[in-house]
Structure 1
Amino acid sequence: VGGLGGVGYVGYSFYKDKFGSAPDYSGSGSGSVEVEIPKGAYGYDIGNILKKQGVVKSVDAFVSAQNENPKGKSIQAGVYLLHSEMSASEAVKMMVDPKSQNLLVIPEGSRNAAVYEKIDAKLNLKKGTTKGIAKSKASDLGLPDWASKNKDIKDPLEGFLYPAAYSVTKETKPEAILEKMVSRANEEYEKVDLVGAAKKHNLDGPWQVITAASLVQAEGKTHDDFRKMAEVIYNRLKPTNTETNQYLQFDSSFNYLNNQSKINIGLAEIRKNKDPYNTYTQRGLTPGPIGNPGNEALAAALNPTKDGWIYFVATDGQHKTEFAKTYDEFLKLKDKFDAID
């Protein structure tokens, strides 16, 4: 943007010297205009797009304003909500403000069910539209070769709708957004050694590393918990574990299969459920991820603590998790949880 923007500015200076100031609107404009700036667009390109859509009066005025604004060269590709007939300086000011972008924000740990609902709402689609498209087109959205084909997996895209902010327009199709999310997940996962992590922690390939990371994300209350939570998972999976005998016993997995978020779940309810995602009745990891982990949860799954943690309790019921190395220590933590009014 800086290079070509500078060239554009030279052109503007010549224009100004010969003809006077470039045509420009005054004020902040009116109404709402959705503008998409593609990747690789430079100052003059951006000005052209804005002029064609009635946002600014001339390309030269925009290029000048972009160069005069200290943040002008930081304008990125994306979708912006601007106004009609804005002064060039106001347009630039608005575009360097993140709030002007029309973004779909997916929080870390979001389950796919919630992501599908967000997409439907953002695009004003009938509820269930995106979920249906995801189900019918999952194999066409760019999943990596190592993605599991396990028949017990609830949603093959779970763990691949990467938590981030995505630009959308009114014309964006759900499958296009899903494809972007899967592509972003692939990019992030390629940055780390998933194969090496799987071998190191005796997992069956990258798929299980992502699954472990999703459990870390779901059970960890704070980022400080993540590495300890990852160690709990790996310690419980060990064949030598005689404390829980390879049962993870995570409420988050039971909540996932029931699409709920309960803190107190009756043991009778849990024990009668034999679903593969119920880690109280099924040994080992869930068949697939139970959400979309962020970078920190993934990093924790790759590099857990090595302190001997095997138990944990959310002692305040919501925000605080405490860890224990023995069953007796666990019982003391459980007493703290049971004492909550």
Structure 2
Amino acid sequence: MTKKESREKKKPTKKMTIRNNLFERGIEARIVRRIVAIITLILVLAAAGTILGGYFYIKSALNPLDPDNNKQTEVEVPIGSSTTAIGNLLEEKGIIKNSTIFKYYVKFNNIAGFQAGNYQFSPSMTLNEITETLQTGKLVREAIFKITVPEGYQLDQIAKLISDKTNYSKEEILKKLDDPKTIEELTKKHPEILTEDLKKEEIKHPLEGYLFPATYSFYEENPSLDSIIDTMLKQTKIALAPYREIIAEKEMTVHEVLTMASLIEKEATEKADRKTISSVFYNRMAIDMPLQTDPTIAYAMGEHLERTLYEHLDVDSPYNTYIHKGLTPGPIANAGVSSIEAALAPSETEFLFFLAEYGTGEVHYSKTLEEHNALTKKYITDKRKESEE
């Protein structure tokens, strides 16, 4: 056999080539299937492990954190705290394992009505025991004293309330509230509500309008002034929290909102629509018209006025809204939620004037000075004369 014949004999035929290729592909396919099977098995096991791990984690989070640990920890739940905030607080204090699990436990069980106060919890308590305690308001101890701050109160009145319940004099409290060092420390501690606006030279009392109207419970016989002030500022922070987005949308500052709200609060009567009063103030500012609100005159003079007379309107003060346009340098009193909401969502009106009817407090609105003067004569001047006769 020649070399040429030998080479031709060894040369694979087309059929053999196809058969070899199919064989090799079959091997590759089997390898790929094995790899896919292995990867799939790994993924299934991983998923199962994750699900199983999650199940056991959730199960453990629903159980007491430490069934054998009965050590009591005092937990203060501030007024207005959300379920999320309470859960975070309990997790931080080492009472529960996971605040998110707590939140969904509360949600899925339709639990509501948590009460503020000082509680005593331990890691051995179940979520059911914890939520029942929060619902019933079973406190660690009864409050030693309470301070109720009404809406519309000014800083000197609040100082008197604190003085009546503590060993601090009114003068001592006001000095503390106006102390630049105090303001500096509080601004750092509560930057969400206290800003550089408080440092304006023309502001009479930096914290005017920032001590929220509420009932405060205290559990020490002689709490420090710092702790009393801090408690009230925390409540202001809680009260404003739901409105942060709308405040940002309106491009207003907290200081501006509280200032406007304080003017509304001092002008409103029980029969007044705060949102309509708010619209009057905003309508005036829109046309560069002074607000001309009488409570600012009384605040500028530092005294209560039964009636604002023409001679009072010339008082030299940045708080005099008959002389100066726009908002006052700061709030003139604390404002409740209804006035804060009115400051953020005024009614849509064309009114520029309003007055409270003599004897009844009924509020009447008007668009022009002529209408306002007619209403003043009818509902104030004439009614006052009638009552004096």
Q: Shift in Å at residue 115 of structure 1?
A: 0.8
Q: Name the SS of the counterpart of 2:290 in structure 1.
A: coil
Instruction: Determine the C-alpha separation between the residues in 2 that align with 1:147 and 1:79.
Output: 39
Residue aligning to 2:223: 172
Instruction: Determine the C-alpha separation between the residues in 1 that align with 2:119 and 2:332.
Output: 41
- Out of 117, 133, 136, the residue aligned to residue 74 of structure 1 is 136
TM-score, normalised to structure 2, is 0.60
Shift of the 178–213 alpha-carbon distance from structure 1 to 2, 3 Å rule, reads: same
Instruction: Determine the C-alpha separation between the residues in 2 that align with 1:78 and 1:250.
Output: 47
Q: Name the SS of the counterpart of 1:306 in structure 2.
A: coil
Provide the aligned C-alpha RMSD in A. Answer: 3.3
Q: Name the SS of the counterpart of 2:354 in structure 1.
A: strand
Shift of the 103–332 alpha-carbon distance from structure 1 to 2, 3 Å rule, reads: same
Instruction: Determine the C-alpha separation between the residues in 1 that align with 2:312 and 2:292.
Output: 13
Aligned-residue identity in percent: 25
- Out of 170, 185, 206, the residue aligned to residue 140 of structure 1 is 185
Instruction: Determine the C-alpha separation between the residues in 2 that align with 1:79 and 1:290.
Output: 36
Residue aligning to 1:20: none
Residue aligning to 1:51: none
Confirm whether residue 162 of structure 1 aligns to residue 212 of structure 2: yes
Q: Name the SS of the counterpart of 2:162 in structure 1.
A: helix
Give the letter aligned to residue 117 of structure 1: K
Q: Shift in Å at residue 153 of structure 1?
A: 0.6
Larger radius of gyration: 2
Residue deviations 1:303-322, cap 9 Å, x none? 11112121011112563221
Shift of the 334–147 alpha-carbon distance from structure 1 to 2, 3 Å rule, reads: farther
Q: Name the SS of the counterpart of 2:341 in structure 1.
A: helix
Shift of the 107–283 alpha-carbon distance from structure 1 to 2, 3 Å rule, reads: same
Instruction: Determine the C-alpha separation between the residues in 2 that align with 1:211 and 1:150.
Output: 14
Residue aligning to 1:125: 168
Does the Cα contact within 8 Å between 1:162 and 1:184 map onto a contact in 2? yes
Does the Cα contact within 8 Å between 1:38 and 1:78 map onto a contact in 2? no
Higher fraction of helix = 2
Does the Cα contact within 8 Å between 1:214 and 1:291 map onto a contact in 2? yes
Residue deviations 1:64-89, cap 9 Å, x none? xxx9xx999511557615xxxxxxxx
Q: Name the SS of the counterpart of 1:80 in structure 2.
A: coil
Does the Cα contact within 8 Å between 1:263 and 1:317 map onto a contact in 2? no
Instruction: Determine the C-alpha separation between the residues in 2 that align with 1:265 and 1:300.
Output: 25
Confirm whether residue 113 of structure 1 aligns to residue 156 of structure 2: yes
Residue aligning to 1:274: 316
Does the Cα contact within 8 Å between 1:79 and 1:103 map onto a contact in 2? no
Shift of the 198–73 alpha-carbon distance from structure 1 to 2, 3 Å rule, reads: closer
Does the Cα contact within 8 Å between 1:233 and 1:310 map onto a contact in 2? yes
Q: Shift in Å at residue 292 of structure 1?
A: 0.9
Residue aligning to 2:260: 212
Q: Name the SS of the counterpart of 2:317 in structure 1.
A: coil
Q: Name the SS of the counterpart of 1:119 in structure 2.
A: helix
Instruction: Determine the C-alpha separation between the residues in 1 that align with 2:249 and 2:153.
Output: 23
Q: Name the SS of the counterpart of 1:236 in structure 2.
A: helix
Confirm whether residue 328 of structure 1 aligns to residue 379 of structure 2: no
Instruction: Determine the C-alpha separation between the residues in 1 that align with 2:140 and 2:159.
Output: 21
Shift of the 296–72 alpha-carbon distance from structure 1 to 2, 3 Å rule, reads: closer
Q: Shift in Å at residue 138 of structure 1?
A: 2.1
Instruction: Determine the C-alpha separation between the residues in 1 that align with 2:352 and 2:263.
Output: 14
Shift of the 268–47 alpha-carbon distance from structure 1 to 2, 3 Å rule, reads: closer
Instruction: Determine the C-alpha separation between the residues in 1 that align with 2:204 and 2:158.
Output: 15
Does the Cα contact within 8 Å between 2:271 and 2:361 map onto a contact in 1? no
- Superposed counterparts of 1:249-260, under 5 Å: 249-260=292-303
Instruction: Determine the C-alpha separation between the residues in 2 that align with 1:207 and 1:162.
Output: 13
Q: Name the SS of the counterpart of 1:167 in structure 2.
A: strand
Give the letter aligned to residue 286 of structure 1: T
Q: Name the SS of the counterpart of 1:270 in structure 2.
A: helix
Q: Shift in Å at residue 278 of structure 1?
A: 0.6
Shift of the 227–127 alpha-carbon distance from structure 1 to 2, 3 Å rule, reads: same
Q: Name the SS of the counterpart of 2:212 in structure 1.
A: coil
Does the Cα contact within 8 Å between 1:38 and 1:77 map onto a contact in 2? no
Residue aligning to 2:350: 308
- Superposed counterparts of 1:220-259, under 5 Å: 220-222=268-270, 224-238=272-286, 241=287, 245-259=288-302
Confirm whether residue 286 of structure 1 aligns to residue 334 of structure 2: no
Give the letter aligned to residue 257 of structure 1: A
- Out of 186, 196, 200, the residue aligned to residue 248 of structure 2 is 196
Shift of the 118–318 alpha-carbon distance from structure 1 to 2, 3 Å rule, reads: farther
Where in structure 1 are there 5+ consecutive unaligned residues?
Answer: 12-35, 49-62, 82-100
Q: Shift in Å at residue 234 of structure 1?
A: 0.3
Residue deviations 1:104-143, cap 9 Å, x none? 1111111111111111111132231211111221222234
Instruction: Determine the C-alpha separation between the residues in 1 that align with 2:155 and 2:231.
Output: 14
Instruction: Determine the C-alpha separation between the residues in 2 that align with 1:268 and 1:46.
Output: 55
Give the letter aligned to residue 333 of structure 1: L
Instruction: Determine the C-alpha separation between the residues in 1 that align with 2:264 and 2:240.
Output: 16
